[in-house]
Amino acid sequence: MRISDPEYIVPVVHCYARCFICRNPVPIRRDKYGGLILSERNCPNCGVFLDDDEILNSFAVNLLHTSAIAAANKLISLDLATIPYILAQVLITYLGFPIWARLFNIVIYHMPIILLIRWLYRYWYRFRFIDDEYLDALKNLRTSLALWLAVNILNLILLLV
């Protein structure tokens, strides 16, 4: 997967709203033009009537929540890239490559930090949720940010050596 893939911050999620009575998901279909079909006005689980505002508000909250967790999981999966990054920097330092070769590698590995900060701005600073799944993803993402910052500081130390 490319680092510039837009799904790292805005992943593809399926359309669901939540019933305000039973809290079960209510599927929302799309027409061929991408618009939402709100013809199913009753909850399939409890049968309560849902108006447009309730459906759309619930859909927006569910969309943000699901995309936040999916994007966090994708960003956390980048943590394994720290191992070859450290190994490459130690090897480049040991072999005595020029500074321009080291700087190229530094620029590439600042991208995960930028993506993590974008996630924090979009899904933590602007919108916040209080459920356990979101808080767990947030904790893992902060750990990932600390890991990437530590690795880049180690790389800066190796650059100065």
- Does the residue 40 lie in any domain? yes
**Which of 18, 5, 21 is closest to 70 using CA atoms?**
5
| Domain contains 1 | no
Give the pLDDT confidence of 15-36 residue by residue, as tens digits: 677 787 887 877 776 677 766 6
* Alpha carbons 151 and 155: distance in angstroms, whole number: 6
The answer to whether residue 90 is domain-embedded is: yes
pLDDT digits (tens, 9 = 90+) for 35-91: 666 666 677 788 787 777 777 788 788 888 888 898 899 899 989 989 988 898 888
Structural domain total, the chain: 1
| Helix ranges, the chain (H) | 52-76, 82-95, 99-108, 111-120, 132-160
| 87 φ, ψ (degrees, to nearest 5) | -60, -45
**In a domain? residue 22:** yes
Q: Kindly state whether residue 70 falls inside one of the protein's structural domains.
A: yes
Whether 145 is covered by a domain: the verdict is yes
Print the domain residue range for 88: 6-160
Residue 122 lies in a domain: yes
Q: Which has the closest alpha carbon to 160: 99, 107, 94?
A: 99
pTM: 0.73
In a domain, 137, yes or no: yes
pLDDT in the model for residue 143: 96
DSSP state of 49: B
